[in-house]
Amino acid sequence: MITAGIDVGSLTSKAVIMKDGKILSSIIVKSKPRPWESADIVINSTLEKTGLSMTDIICCVGTGYGRDKIPFIKQAVSEIACHAKGARWLMPSARTVLDIGGQDCKAMRLDEKGEMVKFITNDKCASGTGRFLEVMAKVMGVELSDLGELSIRSKNPVTLASACTVWAQADVIQHLNERTPIEDIAAGINNAMASRMSTLVSSIGIEREVCMTGGVAKNSGVVTALEKALGIHIKRIRKDDPQLAGAIGAALYAEAVSNGERI
Amino acid sequence: MNKFIEAISALENNYVNEWKNRGGRVVGYTCAYVPDEILHSAGLLPFRVRGFSAADTTIGDTYFGPFICSLPKCMLQLAGEGKFGFLDGIIITPGCDSMRRLDECWRKAGDDIEGIIPGFFFHFGVPHKFTDYTVKWFTEETKRLIGALNSHFGADINNDKLSESIKLYNRSRELLARFDSLRTREAPPFTGTEALGVVLAGTALPREIYNSILEDYISEMSEAPGIPGRSRIMLVGSANDDLDLVRIIEGSGGLVAADNLCFGSRLYSDFVDENINPIDALVARYLSHNECPRMYGDYKKRLLSLKEKIKSANIDGVILQNIRFCDLHGSENGLFERDLEKEGIPCMRLEREYGPLVETGRMKMRIDAFLERLDRRMVPR
Amino acid sequence: MRKELREYNFDWMLCNAFASAARLKSGTEKEYLNTLKYIPYFKGVVEPIMECGEPGRKFLDMSSKYLENIINAKERGLKTAATTFCFSPAIFYAMDIIPVGLEVISVMMTFTYKRGTADFLDFCNEAGFTETSCSSQRGTIGAYLAGVGAEIDMIVTDSPGVCDTNANAFAFASAYLDKPFFQLDMPPDLTGARSNEYHREDYKALIKFLEEQTGKKLEIEKLKARLDELHKQDIIIAELEEMARIIPSPIPVTYNLFLYASRFLFAGMPECTEVLESMLKTATENAVMKRPGLKGGQEKIRAFFCYIDHYAQNLQLWQMLEREGISYCGNILSRLWAENVPHVKVYGKEEAAYRVDTSSLDSMIDTLAGINSRMPMIKSIRGPYDAPNMWLEDTLALAKMYSTDIIVYNGTPGCRNTWGMVKLLARDTEAAGYPTYIMYSDAFDERVQSWEATEERFLEFLKVRRII
Amino acid sequence: MITAGCDIGSLTAKAVILKDKKIIAREIIRATARPEQSALAVMELACATAGIDMKNIERLVGTGYGRKHIPFVNSVESEILCHARGAFHQAPGTRTIIDIGGQDAKAIKINNKGEVIRYVYNDRCASGTGRFLEIIADSLDIALEDMGALSQKSTEILTISNQCVVFAETEIISLINEGKEIPDIISALHKAVANRAASLVRGIGPEPDAVMTGGVAKNSGMFAALAEALGIDLKPVADPQINGALGAALIAEDTLSGKK
């Protein structure tokens, strides 16, 4: 059976087409201002890759910030549920899932069957979100993806004066001006990120295995910093792009929906 | 229903206006530990002060510091904008640390802004536990309040009047108990949003009028068709007079079938004993009323009453919400979550802002996820 | 919580740290300097304290003794009570109960460890306790909730009616650990027959509770001994306070910390008296020599802290005061309200003070009730800030009496109470002519705002307001 | 006597050169990552305009965010002092100064001698700062300087509830998704920033005349919103953006002429 999952986030949109639990094609693009535009783009380009057409898709589930505004989906499912399911597919042993998206940070705890038992999202302040890293990388004039590699080389990481994204940014500029080694600044940024996240995760109680999804999971620096802060090993996802977790979850739900299961 | 909505959708509703036009006087209070009966027996209209409809907290942030609950900030905002101009008096309690400081902040705002201080301004010291000597203190404190009301408003509160008021308010409690039982039906005749509206109206209406519309509403609803097939939610935690919070939950497909909020069931649970001295009876009811975590060392009792409600209202899941910086509810919610989940009752903790700071998108995301979790564990209807 | 933290009891490790620190000077100077090399993080605490000579050494001794009592309580068959800094422990010592003061231990950890209490702060979230609660209790209670400290037998606080976040931390702990819990509840007014009776009855109930928990009756002689010792301490404290009025002040900046810490840890016990006595000795020498307590030898300005200190690692606040030549006129924590202290005499505040009267059991209970209801914070934060005997009156009175140039507020974001009124207080103190600075940092959690950032803004304040 | 002030902000670098208290040059450039570069660039520009050589400047005072990194200054002063000095000079009736800068917002109260009596920064997060506007302008990709004009076109009243800059961004994205008009969003944004700033100012008890300094003051929409939020009459200063640099130059002048 062929199903599709669409994840329209505030910064990026993703789509995945699955056949009997295998990924046929997937894509990640920068979101357009209107969610339905993003949805059209991602579904069409994933279809292209596979040479399939919309009619081949038995069922399509939408998730993410703009999920309610996607016209062609059968059902909308919350990103929390989708990320949990997707993470579980990416790593069947996962019991704690940390998803750091562009605009928020979610922590989810699952039972052995993969059912979600507890979750929390941060939304008072952007410290500890992907956006935080993005802003910092921009200030430092490095690629977001390089932030991790850089920080690993750091001998003595700086401490940022404030957790506020904007003020931390001011801090980073200061350090740049003081000619602080760039890897130490990068490490400082990742530590700030990690300490904010560890506070969040700790509130749902961590169980092994722990895995990370979302774009930030690709930042090895943050992952190691977080491992240090939490004092636990975070299992790296190799099966596929961790940023796709939400879309994968949606596609899996699509399969469940068409089997008449209740979501 | 319209009558209720009308009464709560504006601070100064028509009933209050009529009351004022007839030369009646209105006294506001900030906390469910203030006995309405006393104000009523003084011929005053008791009015529970709210923070709803504040568009921002510019004035609130001027006097309160940054790490303070947004509810009193919104109340101060409205006070500063003169929205409480219709109040002839205000009673503030040490309900919690954020709320008690509304006393000073309101007074100091009064130094800067003309005419926002009600003529009668009273700090009502409610103890934080229930024992013989706290009862003694609270009795004296209650008498102090009565004395102050008598001298300021030229009222003459006496035992007979108090007993009358107690009867009237017990009548309300009786009606509201019946009203509650309707919510426990398999298919409740009204939504949680409507339910909150009905209870809220009680804090803004002359009690005689309230009782009569309430009675009509109940008899009308007892016949009404129910709302079936929704996850039954219990709403627990910080003060909430915001219909929209309940709307978001019900908009996502839940139905709030019970609560233990101080703008909700806490207002009317427990009767006042009509067979003993009225002041002792009021003191006993209001101080022994331990539903609020401000009463220290009573966690187990509160957990128990929560469990009873969950059972009687046949609740599928509990939403444990607290306004940011409300540590009393916030951390008790942590204990509730631990102890209820242990018994297989799904819970979700929800930290939120009050009023103008609410951001519905993010709230909805969390509530949707919780309801999905409930749906999955429920047998398909 | 990181698993290595579960391997040793945190209070045991902290105890050893302080015990070895106290012994550092027992060797030669050379040995001492060498050892410092091996404790890079703790060095910053040890050095400034050791530089204070005997009082410093005794202070470290006392701190390790306090922790030692906690970790050995069970072996000695004694009960432990988790309690708060603003609860006078004299009654516990009189009844052979070992107090576990959460905030003072948080201070020790914040001073000593690079990560401060961060791990235990975070464990509280794991336990379901709000992240916005006060870091002073969270820092330590987290460790006991996680079970990496000595076993707690009962929980006793006196903050209801004064501070919700404090009372709430203990309420949470008692429910989480399922331990018996007693709270002294404070009415909004401090004085008057009603309050006095309330305080008395409440305290009687406390004694009853403690007797139930220990299965032992309160022994009058033991209690008398503790109160006599406490009175002795009051006399020394009064002398120190009197000296603090001298310009330049002969009192070293760290003495403020020594004073309140020793009272919070060992009120009514010789351990406290010893520290106070040796403080008095050096202070008197300074006074006689007309020597300021500041090491720099020059007192540029005098500062009064209207709330608490900043405990960032290595006593950085005190080191800054030294560097800038700022005499420390004390804070709300160091002001006790015995009838014989200068600020009570000068302002004729006997009614707001406590009297030590050991003539009978009743008089002793009244004394205890008086002491507790007049503890720092308990006394002056309970009612509206501008009411008689409350925060504003005290702040202005003390600022005036100790001829301070500025008033500084520092607290924690968890403090609903003071953050609910500090802006108003600052308005009034400014109007009274005291430049007033509000720090937005967290006294116990550097992750909120680094000390460097806090210090920079403070120094800017001194410059812009033309104070230094 | 020739003095100069150099104000290195997070967004722009400004320089003012005074000859006997008269402005002979005022320059504003976009700040680069390196404050010393920005400082040099803007000073050279100013000198060129003034037709003088750097070494003719008898005293140069640096201020602003990057002040610690300007190599050639005689001394540095905090922004508080410079804005106070500048505003007092530009409008002697000034008693209250509101400066919404790139990184933070400040409210300053001065007496009739121009001395700072009280001041306060925005607390703990960047809501209500210039960055707030800048980040949003960025994500709406419109020019910062067009915001004022755009907001004038607003027809519908919207509110932005979120106090965190970054989340406000999300909120705005969803407003766009709801098909809301850019001008309405911008004026809502101005209101949000103004409200934060207003509670800051009320905290120190504003007294007339109140002026607004800093680049943000050039944003007519922002200026109007703040005036409304404050409920007191807000006066414009001739040249708000260089106010800090001007203050610095004046402080240099004061020092030379022996005033303190």
Evaluate if residue A166 carries a pLDDT over 70: no
Nearest-CB residue to A161 (from C2, C4, C449) = C449
Buried b / exposed e along C447-457 (16+ C-beta atoms within 10 A): bbbbbebbbeb
Mean pLDDT to the nearest integer, D44-73 = 91
pLDDT digits 0-9 by tens, D128-184 = 777 778 878 877 888 888 898 999 899 988 888 776 666 677 778 778 777 788 899
Summarize pLDDT for C322-372 with one digit per residue, the tens: 999 999 999 999 999 999 999 999 999 999 999 999 999 999 999 999 999
ipTM of the complex: 0.87
Which two tokens mark C60? 């470290």
- pLDDT higher at B282 or A189: B282
Q: Stretch B326-335: mean pLDDT, rounded?
A: 96
The answer to whether residue B169 scores a pLDDT higher than 60 is yes
> Is it the case that residue B380 has pLDDT exceeding 60?
no
- Residue with more model confidence, C2 or C462: C462
Separation between Cα atoms, residue C329 and residue C310, nearest integer Å: 15
CB contacts, 8 Å: A162 with chain C: 449-450, 453
Is the predicted pLDDT of residue C185 greater than 60, yes or no? yes
Contacts of C418 in chain B (CB under 8 A): 65
CA angle C4, C8, C11 (to 5 degrees): 120
B contacts of A123 (beta carbons < 8 Å): 359, 362
Q: Which residues of D177-197 are buried (b: 16+ CB within 10 A; e: fewer)?
A: beeebbbbbbbbbbbbbbbbb
Higher pLDDT, B364 or A15: A15
> Is any Cβ of chain A less than 8 angstroms from the Cβ of B349?
yes
In the predicted model, what is the mean pLDDT of residues C417-427? Answer: 95
- Do C161 and B127 count as a contact with CB atoms less than 8 A apart? yes
Rounded CA separation C237/C309 (Å): 19
Kindly determine whether residue D199 and residue B58, on different chains, have CB atoms separated by under 8 Å: yes
* Closest alpha carbon within chain A to C115: A229
**Across residues D61-83, what is the average pLDDT?**
90
Chain C residue whose CA is closest to B94? C161
For the stretch C138-175, pLDDT in tens is 999 999 999 999 999 999 999 999 999 999 999 999 99
**Nearest CA among C68, C64, C54, C66 for reference residue C21:** C64
Q: Under a CB-based contact definition with an 8 Å cutoff, are residues C467 and C443 in contact?
A: no
Residues of chain A contacting C3 with CB distance shorter than 8 Å: 231-232
Cα D158 to Cα C451: distance, rounded to the nearest angstrom:
40
- For A211-234, what is the mean pLDDT? 86
Chain B CB contacts of A119 under 8 Å are 366, 369
Q: Which of B351, B362, B369 sits opposite A81 (nearest CB)?
A: B369
Pick from C118, C125, C453: CB nearest A162: C453
**Interface-testing mutation among B61, B68, B101, with chain C (most C C-beta atoms within 10 A):** B101
C464–D80 C-beta distance less than 8 A:
yes
What pLDDT sits at residue B28? Answer: 97
pLDDT at B11: 84
Q: B48 by DSSP, 3-state: which?
A: strand
Q: Higher model confidence: residue C50 or residue D11? A: C50
- Higher pLDDT residue, B37 or A200? B37
Q: Say yes or no for a CB contact (<8 Å) between C5 and A231.
A: yes
Q: Are strands B120-123 and A2-8 parallel, antiparallel or unpaired?
A: unpaired
Which of the pair, D34 or B265, is modelled with greater confidence? B265
Q: Does the pLDDT value for residue C32 go beyond 80? A: yes
Q: Does B357 touch chain D (CB under 8 A)?
A: yes
Give, in degrees to the nearest 5, the angle at Cα C464 between C462 and C466: 65
pLDDT of residue C168: 97
What pLDDT does residue A124 have? 59
Measured between CB atoms, does C464 come within 8 Å of chain D? yes
Q: Chain C residue closest to B97 (CA)?
A: C417
C449 touches chain A (CB under 8 A): yes
C-alpha pair distances (Å), B168 with each of B161, B270, C1, D134? 11, 14, 55, 59
> What is the structure's pLDDT at D101?
80
Burial group, residue A221, by CB count within 10 angstroms (0-12, 13-18, 19+): buried
C453 to chain A, any CB pair closer than 8 A? The answer is yes
pLDDT digit string, tens, across residues B234-266:
999 999 998 989 999 999 899 999 999 999 998
Query: Closest-CA residue in chain B for D207?
Result: B112
Over residues C366-416, the pLDDT tens digits come to: 999 999 999 999 999 999 999 999 999 999 999 999 999 999 999 999 999
| Contact call for A135 and D124, based on CB within 8 A | no
Candidates C41, C110, C48; CA nearest to C254 is: C48
| Token pair 């005022």 in the structure block, residue | D26
D118 touches chain C (CB under 8 A): yes
User: Which of residues 292 through 331 in chain B touch D, CB cutoff 8 A?
Assistant: none
Residue C6, pLDDT above cutoff 50: yes
Give dist(CA A106, CA C308) in Å, integer: 36
Q: Look at chain D and count its residues.
A: 260
Q: Do C453 and A159 touch (CB under 8 A)?
A: no
In the predicted structure, residue D260 carries a pLDDT above the cut 60: no
Residue A172 pLDDT level (bands cut at 50, 70, 90): confident
Interface contact D199-B357, CB threshold 8 A = no
- Position B378 confidence tier, pLDDT thresholds 50, 70, 90: very low
Given a contact cutoff of 8 angstroms between Cβ atoms, the answer to whether D13 and D68 are in contact is: no
Taking a contact as any Cβ pair under 8 Å apart, which residues of chain B between 99 and 128 contact chain C?
100-101, 103-105, 108, 123, 125, 127-128
Interface residue C465 vs chain D (CB under 8 A): yes
User: Chain B closest CA to A211's CA: distance in Å?
Assistant: 20
Q: What is the pLDDT of residue D224?
A: 92
pLDDT of residue B234: 97
Segment D204-222 shows an average pLDDT of 90
Number of C-beta neighbours around residue C253 at 10 A: 23
Residue contact B97–C420, C-beta within 8 A: yes
How big is the A-C interface in CB pairs under 8 Å? 40
Least confident of A178-182, B29-33, B332-336, B366-370: A178-182
| pTM of the complete model | 0.90
At residue D127, the pLDDT reads: 67
Q: What is the mean pLDDT of chain C?
A: 94
**Which of D10, D176, D177 has the CB atom closest to A173's CB atom?**
D10
Residues 6+ apart with CB under 8 A from B5: B197, B201
Residue B379 pLDDT: 39
- Identify residues of A whose CB sits under 8 angstroms from chain B CBs: 65, 77-81, 104, 115-121, 123-124, 262-263
Q: How confident is the model at residue C448, as a pLDDT?
A: 79
3-state SS, chain A, equals CEEEEEEECCCEEEEEEEECCEEEEEEEEECCCCHHHHHHHHHHHHHHHHCCCHHHCCEEEEECCCHHHCCCCCEECCHHHHHHHHHHHHCCCCCEEEEECCCCEEEEEECCCCCEEEEEEECCCCCCCHHHHHHHHHHHCCCCCHHHHHHHCCCCCCCCCCCCHHHHHHHHHHHHHCCCCHHHHHHHHHHHHHHHHHHHHHCCCCCCCEEEECHHHHCHHHHHHHHHHHCCCEECCCCCCHHHHHHHHHHHHHHHHHCCCCC
Q: C2 to chain A nearest CA, in Å?
A: 4
| Residue A181's pLDDT band (cuts 50, 70, 90) | confident
- Residue with structure tokens 């009496």? C401
Are the Cβ atoms of A165 and D35 closer than 8 angstroms?
Answer: no
Neighbours of chain D (3+ CB pairs under 8 A): A, B, C
Whether chain C has a CB inside 8 Å of the CB on D115: the answer is: yes
Percent with pLDDT over 90 in chain D: 48
**C57 φ, ψ to 5°?**
-60, -45
Q: How far is A23 from chain D (nearest CA, A)?
A: 30
Q: Which residues of C touch B335 (CB under 8 A)?
A: 128, 172, 175-176
Residues 50-89 of B with CB under 8 A from C: 62-69
pLDDT at D124: 58
Which pLDDT tens digit goes with each residue over A50-78? Answer: 999 999 999 999 998 778 888 899 999 98
Q: Which of B349, B365, B375 sits opposite A262 (nearest CB)?
A: B375
Mean residue pLDDT of chain B comes to: 93
Q: In what order do the strands lie in the sheet with D105-110?
A: D116-121, D105-110, D96-100, D210-213, D234-236
Contact B105 C420 (CB under 8 A): yes
**How far does D19 lie from chain A, in Å, by closest CA?**
31
Q: B154-168: per-residue pLDDT in tens?
A: 999 999 999 999 999
